[in-house]
Amino acid sequence: MFTLFTFNSSAFAATNTTENKTVVAACAKGGTVGVYGAKMRNGYTVGSPVLHTFNDGEKITGTWVTGEYVQGHYSNSKQWLKVTYKGMTGYVSHTTLYNVCS
């Protein structure tokens, strides 16, 4: 038997909850890059310069922040994932990701 719960906007599963012995992270903040790729920009607007493009199927994690509203492939959202990649910090629109945990 296990229990699902959230803490700090992440999902967790706990077993043996009466003794609090096992807690397993079920979801990290982030998502999977969709078929069109995901651009990491230096700001949380679609007009910000592109620092890197992630490819279809890559899993990326970070911290969600609020930015420009975007109508996208998988959703419409003003949420952007703040990520660090190869020493660069940038933002990826929620709308380019699927299997998203926030």
Q: What is the predicted pLDDT for the residue at 2?
A: 44
Residue ranges covered by each domain of the chain: 30-101
Q: What is the predicted pLDDT for the residue at 93?
A: 96
Q: What is the predicted pLDDT for the residue at 26?
A: 55
For each of the chain's 102 residues, which pLDDT tens digit applies? Answer: 444 444 444 554 444 444 444 444 456 799 999 999 999 999 999 999 999 999 999 999 999 999 999 998 888 999 999 999 999 999 999 999 999 887
Q: Which two tokens stand for residue 37?
A: 């790729």
Q: What is the predicted pLDDT for the residue at 28?
A: 75
Q: What is the predicted pLDDT for the residue at 27?
A: 66
Phi-psi region of 41 (alpha: psi -120 to 50; beta: other; left: phi over 0): beta
Contact 59, 65 (CB under 8 A): no
Contact 33, 57 (CB under 8 A): yes
pTM recorded for the entire structure: 0.73
**Fold that domain 30-101 belongs to in CATH:** SH3 type barrels. (2.30.30)
Residue with tokens 């700090």: 8
Tell me how far apart the alpha carbons of residues 61 and 74 are, in angstroms, rounded to a whole number. 17
Residue 76: DSSP 8-state: E
HEC readout, 78-93: EEEEEEEECCEEEEEE
